[in-house]
Amino acid sequence: MFTLESPLLAFQGFFGAGGSVLWAIFAATALMWTMIVERLWFFRYVHAKNLAAINEEWSSRRETSSWNALRVRRQLISGISLAVNRYVRIIQALMALLPLLGLLGTVTGMIQIFNVVAVAGTTNARLMAAGVSAATIPTMAGLVAALSGFWFAVYFRKRARLEVQKAGELLAIESECGEGA
């Protein structure tokens, strides 16, 4: 029979065996995934409204070919670029940080093993095994957490580039129509 206590005990056992560095990995992963979900939400629900707003602003201009109008166009495209690229660099930085935190956990686990060897000698395998798990679990957790965000980081970078290009083309088409009228 499934109870809520068994996953909580497994979670507690995992963090107990992996050491305190797992909490830093957990926090960085939670932050990364919060930003990933925010970007998914942005592209799904917010970005189309932003494009419609800049298109409306550009279309409402009387002239679209003067130097000032082209600067306004550049500013509108720059605003879209800032909006679509928000948090992408932070997601990439967290992806790079997570394996390093895992390696920090490896170092702290090895220090734990060396302390066991110094105090109890090499004869106590049970104490050494706790240090080995504290050395390997954070490494695995850091790598898995970083890999979980890899596809999204690549996707968001490509999507941002395409959306900026799309905004430029949208305003350029309007600009060409405005010149001919």
Is residue 174 over pLDDT 50?
no
| Phi, psi values for residue 171, rounded to 5° | -75, -30
| 64-122: pLDDT as tens digits | 888 888 899 999 999 999 999 999 999 999 999 999 999 998 888 888 888 878 887 77
Residue 10 within any structural domain of the chain = no
Percent of the chain topping pLDDT 70 = 92
> How many separate domains does the chain show?
1
Give the separation between CA 39 and CA 84, rounded to whole angstroms.
Answer: 8
- How many separate helices (H) and strands (E) can be counted in the chain? 6, 0
| 25-50: pLDDT as tens digits | 999 999 999 999 999 999 999 999 99
Structure token pair of residue 166: 């799309």
CB 122 within 8 A of CB 54: no
Residue 2 within any structural domain of the chain = no
**Domain carrying residue 142:** 21-48+64-180
Q: Which uninterrupted H or E stretch holds 51?
A: helix 47-59
Residue 5 within any structural domain of the chain = no
